[in-house]
Amino acid sequence: MLIAGNWKMYKGQGETAEFCIDLRRHLADLEGVEVAVCPPFTSLAVAVQVLAGTDVAVAAQNVYWEPEGAFTGEVSAPMLRELGVYGAIVGHSERRQFFGETDEGVGRRTRAALDAGLSVIACVGETEEERERGETEDVLRRQLSVLKAEDNLVVAYEPVWAIGTGKTATPEIAQQAHAFIKSLLDVPVLYGGSVKPENAEELLELPAVDGALVGGASLDVDSFASICLSASRS
Give the three-class secondary structure for 190: strand
CA distance 194 to 158: 9
CA distance 124 to 133: 17
| Sequence-distant (≥ 6) Cβ neighbours of residue 136 within 8 angstroms | 126, 130, 177
Of 34, 94, 101, 158, the catalytic one is 158
Catalytic (active site) residue 178: no
Catalytic (active site) residue 94: no
- State the helix-helix crossing angle for 136-144 and 171-184, rounded to 10 degrees: 40
Count the Cβ atoms, other than its own, within 10 Å of residue 25: 9
Which among 175, 6, 16 is positioned nearest to 93, based on CA atoms? 6
Of 92, 94, 126, 178, the catalytic one is 92
Active site residues: 92, 158
